Amino acid sequence: MLDKKTFDKLRQLIYRESGIALGDNKDSLVGARVAKRMRELGLATHAEYYDYIIRDRDGQELIHLLDVISTNVTHFFREPRHFDMLAALVQEWEGQGQRRFRIWCAASSTGEEPYSLAITMREALTDSRDVKILASDISTRVLRKAAEGVYEARHVENIPRAVLLRYFQKGRGESDGHYQVKQSIREMVLFRRINLAAPGLPVRGPLDVIFCRNVMIYFDNTLRRQLLANLYELLRPGGYLVVGHAESLSGMLSEFKSVEPAVYVKPPGVKEPRSHHHATALLNRNK
């Protein structure tokens, strides 16, 4: 049984390291999710587990903790309107002469969303050679799965058959019943672990589009404002931010302008974002 004192210590640690704010009623959830780790480590109490994390010098157990606490619910082309909007946007930009496109999927989970973005870009553009997508998550577990790009048949059953045939390879033999995203699409995406609650994001702008869906619902208002300010700075003028439908920027003192529900634009004509230290040169290759 997770006692209140240890629960408070654990949720303070989780908030400090990930930005996830756990309410008073989440003690049973936390206790259940760390139980497996406790068994694997041979620890009898949650207090021992907390002490183990604090003493763990390389920080690997903290990553395991955040892996089991973070919620990862996703599927291909979730909220189809967002992908239709993206296709229309990039077609318009390509028509204006743009050839270089940089997108950040800030909560990639097991990869369905960034691969949906890559497929959308490939389908929408006449020339997608200079499209790069950074896909990040705080969970190393889901990032490993995402990079493999392998999914059970039930996870791809809602994808139009023509799209499935173009961009997925059906498994055979031991891989029967699975589909892998084709290499041409996987090469458009780079997966990296990034903590969105950190003060400075290791990403370099300017970006054209940021998908940051269903993340801020786990943050308090202080972290939401901090994250929005960082995202605003990373976007180019005229760039778009897409959030979850349960998330609103109302009252966040944001400079973003609403376009439609869950879609915002950084107004054109404002100063370009300054460069940040970046996790990878991928998004800035072939400037």
Enzyme catalytic residues: 33, 137
Q: Which two tokens stand for residue 1?
A: 């049984």
Q: Are 8 and 22 in contact (CB under 8 A)?
A: no
Q: Which residue has the tokens 């990869």?
A: 111
Cα–Cα distance between 249 and 193 in angstroms, integer?
25
225: CB partners within 8 A, 6+ apart: 252, 253, 254
Q: Measured in whole angstroms, how far is the alpha carbon of residue 113 from the centre of its chain? A: 8
Q: What is the DSSP string of 112-163?
A: HHHHHHHHHHHHH-S--TTEEEEEEES-HHHHHHHHHTEEEHHHHTTS-HHH
Which residue, chain included where needed, has tokens 């439908």? 245
